[in-house]
Amino acid sequence: MMGPSHALSGASVWLAGSWALDHFAGYEQSPLALAVGTAVCAGGALFPDLDLSGKVTRNQGGATVARTFGVFSLFFAEVMEKVSLGVYYATKLSKDPRRSNGHRTLTHTIPFTVLVGWGTTALCAAYGKWAVIGILFFMFGLALRGLFDEWAERAGWVVVTLASLAAAWFTFVTLPGDRGYPMIGLAVGVGSFVHILGDMITRAGVPILWPIPIKRRMWTMVSLPDSIALRAGSKTEVVVVRAALTVIAVLAAVGLVAPSVLQRFDIEV
């Protein structure tokens, strides 16, 4: 799947999940919490592809998402790719093929999504709002890059960086006091997990079973069979999948916001 589809899938899963929590468990969130969770989950749904760097020094190549913060995120992606490759070789068994780069390995595993979600939660718990602003800045940047890819491309990374900073700062001053913010960690973790599922329905596949060894392979690539798998960037992905995800997101958002709007209307009348 391509960047915009990943980001969109993160946003719609978060909205649909929030709607289900509200509807079936009576768990309500403020509009701000909803918006922040949705943006963070959209950003989280791009995070695993920060393992694909390009030519850092020439500011070229890499996953689109690796270009979010210019050379800074390209460098980050470079490091992540090398670390992933290191983990691949450290855990590879005799039947795992040799690889020359770490894309779609460590960051596309379930332990990684758990680690990222837990790490985010731990940071928020330890540093409160100061951790929150850093995480939001990072995730908002990824979400902007993913959801508004054409705008981001035209605007350039400096504008994307400034817009993310402004959004993070606004949230920072509006968000109620120190309280740990476990939903932010959850949103990052869920987003990363949704990314893996998205890659799984394309032909390339992901090592979702890692670290379970199967037939002397630790890195078994799992995907849908070629006949039904999506081709990345195909018409089906760009038109059908994105339209379906948008409909889900809009329906969930309306379902979440409409009752409180109606209620307010009742009170005023």
d(CA 50, CA 68): 10
Q: Rg for the chain (alpha carbons), in Å?
A: 19
d(CA 97, CA 89): 10
The window from 23-31, 42-50, 114-122, 146-154 that contacts Zn ion (CB under 5 A) reads 42-50
Compose the 17-36 pattern: x for residues touching Zn ion by CB under 5 A, - for all others: --------------------
Question: Least distance from C-beta 12 to Zn ion, angstroms?
Answer: 18
The DSSP bridge pattern shows strands 60-61 and 54-55 to be antiparallel
Question: Least distance from C-beta 14 to Zn ion, angstroms?
Answer: 18
Q: Name the residue nearer to Zn ion (CB basis): 96 or 199.
A: 199
User: 261: buried, middle or exposed (CB in 10 Å: 19+, 13-18, 0-12)?
Assistant: exposed
The window from 43-51, 66-74, 220-228, 258-266 that contacts Zn ion (CB under 5 A) reads 43-51
d(CA 184, CA 83): 25
Question: Least distance from C-beta 43 to Zn ion, angstroms?
Answer: 14
d(CA 30, CA 53): 37
Beta bridge partners of 206: 222
Q: Name the residue nearer to Zn ion (CB basis): 199 or 237.
A: 199
Question: Least distance from C-beta 46 to Zn ion, angstroms?
Answer: 9
Q: Name the residue nearer to Zn ion (CB basis): 49 or 237.
A: 49
CA 150 to chain centroid, in Å, comes to 18
Q: Name the residue nearer to Zn ion (CB basis): 124 or 196.
A: 196
Does the protein bind Zn ion through residue 51 (CB under 5 A)?
Answer: no
Q: Name the residue nearer to Zn ion (CB basis): 131 or 141.
A: 141
Q: Name the residue nearer to Zn ion (CB basis): 49 or 96.
A: 49
Question: Least distance from C-beta 196 to Zn ion, angstroms?
Answer: 7
- List 7, 12, 49, 248, residue binding Zn ion (CB under 5 A): 49
Q: Name the residue nearer to Zn ion (CB basis): 2 or 133.
A: 2
- If you ran DSSP here, which 8-state letter would residue 64 be given? G
Contact 122, 182 (CB under 8 A): no
Compose the 190-229 pattern: x for residues touching Zn ion by CB under 5 A, - for all others: ---------x------------------------------
- Angle, helices 182-200 vs 3-25, to 10°: value is 130
Question: Least distance from C-beta 51 to Zn ion, angstroms?
Answer: 8
Looking at this protein, which amino acid is placed at residue 22?
D
Backbone angles phi, psi at 224, to 5 degrees: -70, 155
Binding site for Zn ion (CB under 5 A): 49, 199
